[in-house]
Structure formats: C-alpha cells, structure tokens
C-alpha cells in the first residue's frame, strides 16, 4: 500500500515541478504586456514632443512666419495649430511646413486664424 502512495506522491511532485516554468510564464505575461503598453505610451509622448519641438523650430527658422503667434500642440502625430497670423499666405505656409515634418500624421489648423 505504501508503494502506490509513494509513486503517486512522486508523480505529483514531478508534475508540479515541470509546471512551474509554465506557471511563471503565465503570471509574467500580464506584467510584460503592461510594460510594453507603458513603453509604447512613453515612445508616443516622446514622439509627440519631438514633433512639436520640430514644428516650432521650423517656424522660428522661417522669416515668413510669426512663430510666436502660432501655438503648436501634438497628440498621436496630429498637430494642432492655433493663434492669429497676419495673412492667409502665412497660415497656408504654416500648414505646409508642418506637413513636411517627419512623423506628422495630420494637421488641424481650424483654430489658426488670420488677422485680415
């Protein structure tokens, strides 16, 4: 009678030992997914910040744009321009320059008005 119980105990311990790596992988999976999601959000934030900075510096470097009058915000690659510029030509130039920036998915300039 002792021998079947010993075999059962040995089989149970063996099965438990073999399943430990699988169990730890199953528990680690949600943590890894959460970490990947956090990294993706951080990369997106850095990317949006980079795009905003690049657009602003492009405006400052262009003598035909009044860079201080244009507010720039970026969310998931979509750049929003707002403020007041002198002419329609300046508004169009700001939109065109923004679209040239790497990483810009779209430009929203509904809030960018002209003084004319």
pLDDT tens digits, residue range 69-104?
999 999 999 999 999 999 999 999 999 999 999 999
Q: Which tens digits make up the pLDDT trace of 48-70?
A: 999 999 999 999 999 999 899 99
What mean pLDDT value characterizes the chain?
81
In angstroms, the CA 12 to CA 15 distance is: 5
SS3 79: strand
Q: Indicate the number of domains in the chain.
A: 1
CA 95 – CA 24 distance, rounded (Å):
52
The arithmetic mean of pLDDT across residues 1-16, rounded, is 61
Residue 65 carries which DSSP code? S
| This prediction's pTM | 0.63
* Domain limits for position 80: 2-114
Quote the longest CA-to-CA distance of the chain.
Answer: 100
Instruction: Please count the other Cβ atoms lying within 10 Å of the Cβ belonging to residue 51.
Output: 24
| pLDDT category of residue 116 using cuts at 50, 70 and 90 | confident
């Amino acid at each position: 009678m002792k021998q079947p119980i010993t075999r059962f105990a040995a089989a149970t311990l063996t099965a438990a030992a073999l399943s430990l790596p699988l169990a730890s992988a199953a528990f680690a999976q949600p943590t890894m997914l959460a970490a990947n999601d956090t990294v993706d959000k951080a990369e997106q934030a850095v990317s949006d910040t980079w795009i905003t900075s690049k657009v602003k510096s492009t405006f400052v470097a262009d003598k035909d744009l009044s860079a201080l009058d244009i507010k720039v915000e970026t969310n998931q690659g979509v750049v929003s321009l707002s403020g007041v510029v002198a002419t329609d030509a300046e508004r169009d130039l700001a939109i065109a320059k923004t679209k040239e920036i790497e990483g810009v998915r779209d430009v929203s300039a509904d809030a960018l008005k002209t003084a004319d």
